[in-house]
Amino acid sequence: MLHGFTGSPASFTGLTLPRLALAPLLGGHAAVPASADFWAEVERLGALMPDARQLFGYSLGARLSLGLLARYPRRFDRAVLVAAHPGLHTDQQRARRRTADDRYISLLRERGLPEFVAAWEGQPMWRSQAALHASLRAAKHRERLTHTAEGLARCLASVGLGQMPDLRAELAHSGCVVEFLVGGQDRKFLSLARELCALMPRARLHVAEHHGHDLVLECPQFCSTFLSQGHSS
């Protein structure tokens, strides 16, 4: 169970989890040091779960899950991935993304965690959460504040989207069953999920209409359905 950027294992509180679910902190979160780069984090996570046969990942956790599928093509039987990105296509796109992430890194280091969290939560991608109960939004805000500014800065600098390789070629050969979950309002990631389903031979798309990017928070029962299917199989 791999959480998203600024998240933690507490992100999965609303899900119905398999009995033996393992939910590690990602590098740069809480007291866990950031890895040197994307592949180093993939290998760190792979070493934490040598016997795991199934994956669940959200956003950053979904990107790292795709990295695990690419690095260990025969290890996993099934993955449930929410808002997954296979990596940007070109070096130029990655350079632009690193420039964008550098602004957040500077904000973290110069202004501190609370101001960064306020800016992060102001992004348009979270608009669909306006309909959530205020207590859920407040709990998510508190979760983000459990980290350190330097840890999150190092996380962005090592495994941000601009640091991630394009995994499409490797994923095209994956034999893993992959359930891609995406919110109907999350247009960018809906397009990416469709692309991945056309690319990966055993991938399937599932859309939660009227929801946005963070289905783990917005629609936990939808995510739990696919976790229980994998557990029962």
- Side by side, the strands of the sheet bearing 54-58 are 54-58, 78-82, 177-183, 203-208
Mean local confidence (pLDDT), 51-56: 95
Residue 200 lies in a domain: yes
31 pLDDT tier (thresholds 50, 70, 90)? very high
pTM exceeds 0.85 for this model = yes
Q: CB neighbours (10 Å) of residue 124?
A: 8
pLDDT at res. 209: 96
* CATH label of the domain that carries residue 205: 3.40.50.1820
Mean local confidence (pLDDT), 158-181: 97
CA-to-CA distance for 171 and 155, rounded, in angstroms? 24
230 pLDDT tier (thresholds 50, 70, 90)? low
Residue 3 lies in a domain: no
CA torsion angle 26 28 33 34 (round to 10): 90
Domain total in the chain: 1
pLDDT digits (tens, 9 = 90+) for 89-126: 999 999 999 999 999 999 999 999 999 999 999 999 99
